[in-house]
Amino acid sequence: MMKILVPVKRVIDYNVKIRVNSEGSAVETNNVKMSMNPFDEIAVEEAVRLKEAGLAEEIIIVSIGDKGSQETIRTAFAMGGDRGVHIVNDLNTEPLVVAKILKNLIEKETIDIVIMGKQAIDDDSNQTGQMLAALLDWPQATFASKLELNDNQIKVIREIDGGLETLNVKLPCIVTTDLRLNEPRYASLPNIMKAKKKEIIEIPIEETGVDFSSRLEVLKVEEPEIRSGGRKVEDVNELISVLKNEVGVI
Amino acid sequence: MMSILVIAESNGIEVDRGTLSAITAAQKIGDKINLLILEDSEQVINKAKKIKGVSNIITTSGDLQGGLAENLAPLISECAKDVTHVLSSAGTFGKNIMPRVSALNDSQQISDICEIIDADTFVRPIYAGNALATVKSLDKVKFITVRSTAFQAANDQEGDAEIVEGPVAETNGKSSFVKRDLSESDRPELTAAKIVVSGGRGIGSADNFSILDPLADKLGAAVGASRAAVDAGYVPNDYQVGQTGKVVAPELYIAIGISGAIQHLAGMKDSKTIVAINKDEDAPIFQIADYGLVGDLFEIIPELSDKI
């Protein structure tokens, strides 16, 4: 039976209007609603479905971040995760460092599949899964919209520019999730209660044996030019006329 | 002299528009540009020879089928030995392969750059473009994906590059290509379309969504949707424009029955012209739309489709 690892990231909730801090050095995260990265929710859901189908035996949730990450791990527990690992780092962890930490963890736990979000909606890097696959020399099934597990391989349908692609990847492998893979469930109250009792192991990032220094120095963060609204038009005729004469696109 | 490797994405005929943008970006960094073609196609190579600003075309052969990251990453690494920067466009091809190559070289990739400050310093959008980060790379070799809408396509008529025979791809046996199904819709793809017509919850139902079809057909537009419309089950997820969906920047974006939630705006606010049609005159979408029309979309859209 398989063991699945699902890395999850705590990010600013997708409905929050973000703002840059007064120093212009980062996006403000204090007193802002935080949630699980939406692509990671899809990853947790997929892992839980594999377990419910009797194809996997255990789902391990891992998160790297400050204390609040434990709340995100518990959210994954409430959806069906079994146990958790919290790598404690109060600062931002770059994708390559995350990949190295996950690699170490995977080598200790003998994982068969890693399912993770294709990108986090904060830094939008879209790197960690592919980097982890490189470090482990595992195959990668990125931007997955459908998985079919047969024996020792997964047939995966991937979202690519302009359509879909089908690949076969052998286990063990890395899967990164795209939006169409599934619709994550809402956790039920009994499952939220149960989630409180599940075990989370805490490991300070200094004890992972990975050099976690930054390779990308953030010089500044700024808000893009604000787009100002234009004007209202009276009716369809006026709209067509401005599109033809002022904008010239039609 | 800085030598740069650009990884081409091609389709059996020519390198794509995103690659031409990546070449323009490469020219802003250094002067010797090597273009790596990952397809054993004479047609692609002959066409690529004419791209202005490219010094060498590196050809490859062997197991290139399906452009599998597992097989291509070691080959790209081999070609990256003597360069300072490796670039590709930030389409799904580059997004899939580049981080694998970057990690093999123990380098922290810089994704989706939209501006080049100097050879080490780049601007990239974060939070779906709601903020811009200026980052300086401390790595010796930089692996970069390029946002194609931020750089003009390089001229592909006046160049005269040399052809250099490159390495042979070997299969690592852990993955295999089955097939590719490119959408055969007559409509353009959302992220490449010049005009996008998007519907929101105001459309009311999955059946009603077809009200957008005649308009989209007449304009040659792609059809998108807000997350609210996707969550309500009106259309599949791949229609979604927004922070958790696709980011688009067409010439014209027509938002219909879309209130303008932050997460939707993140996906379309870089459109050149935005038109909003909504019955609620206080809808937030009007704050960013260039032209707003207040009214019942079920009257406006058929009339617009007729008259346009």
Tell if the CB–CB gap between B178 and A159 is shorter than 8 Å: no
How many A-B residue pairs are in contact by the CB < 8 A criterion? 258
**A250, B167 Cβ separation under 8 angstroms:** no
Give the chain A residue whose CA is nearest to the CA of B290. A230
Q: Which residues of A touch B252 (CB under 8 A)?
A: 243, 247, 249-250
pLDDT in tens, B124-158: 999 988 899 999 999 999 999 999 878 989 999 99
**Residue B13 confidence (pLDDT) above 90:** yes
In this complex, the residue of A137, A232, A247 whose CB is nearest that of residue B252 is A247
**Residue A172 confidence (pLDDT) above 70:** yes
What pLDDT score was predicted for residue B127?
Answer: 92
What pLDDT score was predicted for residue B236?
Answer: 82
Q: How many CB atoms lie within 10 A of CB B42?
A: 8
Q: Mean of the per-residue pLDDT values for chain B?
A: 94
Q: Who's near A49: CB < 8 A, 6+ residues apart?
A: A182
Nearest residue to A131 (alpha-carbon basis) of A121, A144, A118: A118
Q: Who's near B75: CB < 8 A, 6+ residues apart?
A: B38, B60, B62, B166, B167, B168, B169, B170
* pLDDT, mean of residues A222-239: 90
**Residue A248 confidence (pLDDT) above 90:** no
Tell if the CB–CB gap between B174 and A139 is shorter than 8 Å: yes
Tell if the CB–CB gap between B138 and A122 is shorter than 8 Å: no
What pLDDT score was predicted for residue A180?
Answer: 85
Coil/strand/helix, residue B87:
strand
Domain range A2-247, CATH class: alpha beta
Torsion region of B58: left, alpha or beta (phi above 0 gives left; psi -120 to 50 gives alpha): beta
In this complex, the residue of B128, B177, B293 whose CB is nearest that of residue A232 is B293
pLDDT in tens, A105-139: 999 999 999 999 999 999 999 999 999 999 999 99
Q: Who's near B137: CB < 8 A, 6+ residues apart?
A: A215, A216, A217, B108, B110, B120, B121, B122
Q: How far is A195 from chain B (nearest CA, A)?
A: 26
Q: How far is B15 from chain A (nearest CA, A)?
A: 14
Give the chain A residue whose CA is nearest to the CA of B175. A169
B127, β-bridge pairs: none
Q: How far is B16 from chain A (nearest CA, A)?
A: 11
d(CA B267, CA B23): 25
* pLDDT, mean of residues A68-85: 98
What pLDDT score was predicted for residue B212?
Answer: 97
CA distances from B266 to A132, A241, B247, B287 (A): 29, 28, 7, 14
**B110, B139 Cβ separation under 8 angstroms:** no
Tell if the CB–CB gap between B293 and A239 is shorter than 8 Å: yes
Q: Which residues of A touch B288 (CB under 8 A)?
A: 227-229
**Residue B237 confidence (pLDDT) above 80:** no
d(CA B308, CA B291): 16
Tell if the CB–CB gap between A165 and B111 is shorter than 8 Å: no
Q: Give ipTM to 2 decimals.
A: 0.94
pLDDT in tens, A146-167: 999 998 999 999 999 878 999 9
* Domain range annotation of chain A: 2-247
**Residue A182 confidence (pLDDT) above 90:** yes
* pLDDT, mean of residues A193-220: 97
Nearest residue to A173 (alpha-carbon basis) of A114, A118, A117, A129: A114
Q: Are strands A10-12 and B222-225 parallel, antiparallel or unpaired?
A: unpaired
What pLDDT score was predicted for residue B140?
Answer: 96
pLDDT in tens, B250-301: 999 999 999 999 889 989 998 999 999 999 999 999 999 999 999 999 999 9
Q: Which residues of B touch A124 (CB under 8 A)?
A: 111-112, 125-128
Q: How far is A192 from chain B (nearest CA, A)?
A: 23
Q: How far is A10 from chain B (nearest CA, A)?
A: 14
* pLDDT, mean of residues B40-60: 96
Give the chain A residue whose CA is nearest to the CA of B191. A161
User: Predicted confidence band at B1 (pLDDT cuts at 50, 70, 90)?
Assistant: low
Q: How many CB atoms lie within 10 A of CB B195?
A: 22
Nearest residue to B16 (alpha-carbon basis) of B77, B67, B55: B67
What pLDDT score was predicted for residue A229?
Answer: 82
Tell if the CB–CB gap between A134 and B240 is shorter than 8 Å: no
What pLDDT score was predicted for residue B2?
Answer: 85
User: Predicted confidence band at B246 (pLDDT cuts at 50, 70, 90)?
Assistant: confident
* pLDDT, mean of residues B99-123: 98
pLDDT in tens, A20-72: 999 999 999 999 999 999 999 999 999 999 999 999 999 999 999 999 999 99
Based on C-alpha coordinates, what's the Rg of chain A? 21
Nearest residue to B87 (alpha-carbon basis) of B28, B6, B10: B6
**Residue B243 confidence (pLDDT) above 90:** no
Give the chain A residue whose CA is nearest to the CA of B221. A250
**A249, A243 Cβ separation under 8 angstroms:** yes
User: Predicted confidence band at B7 (pLDDT cuts at 50, 70, 90)?
Assistant: very high
In this complex, the residue of B125, B175, B245 whose CB is nearest that of residue A168 is B175
What pLDDT score was predicted for residue B188?
Answer: 86
Coil/strand/helix, residue B6:
strand
What is the DSSP code (8-state) at residue B106? T
Q: How far is B7 from chain A (nearest CA, A)?
A: 17
Tell if the CB–CB gap between A139 and B175 is shorter than 8 Å: yes
Question: The tokens of B220 are what?
Answer: 């040659």
Tell if the CB–CB gap between A130 and B100 is shorter than 8 Å: yes
**Residue B203 confidence (pLDDT) above 80:** yes
Nearest residue to A209 (alpha-carbon basis) of A62, A53, A83, A103: A103
Q: How far is B214 from chain A (nearest CA, A)?
A: 15
What pLDDT score was predicted for residue B187?
Answer: 87
In this complex, the residue of A95, A131, A168 whose CB is nearest that of residue B176 is A168
Nearest residue to B224 (alpha-carbon basis) of B187, B259, B251: B187
Q: Are strands A153-160 and A140-150 parallel, antiparallel or unpaired?
A: antiparallel
Of the ranges A176-180, B24-28, B266-270, the best mean pLDDT one: B24-28
Q: Who's near B275: CB < 8 A, 6+ residues apart?
A: A239, A243, B252, B253, B254, B255, B289, B290, B291, B292, B293
Percentage of the residues of chain A whose pLDDT score is greater than 70:
100
- Test the B interface: residue of A22, A97, A124 with most B CBs within 10 Å: A124
What pLDDT score was predicted for residue A196?
Answer: 96
Q: Are strands A231-232 and A140-150 parallel, antiparallel or unpaired?
A: unpaired
Query: How many residues are present in chain A?
Result: 250
Nearest residue to B170 (alpha-carbon basis) of B60, B67, B63, B39: B63
What pLDDT score was predicted for residue A239?
Answer: 96
Tell if the CB–CB gap between B180 and A160 is shorter than 8 Å: yes
Tell if the CB–CB gap between B131 and A217 is shorter than 8 Å: no
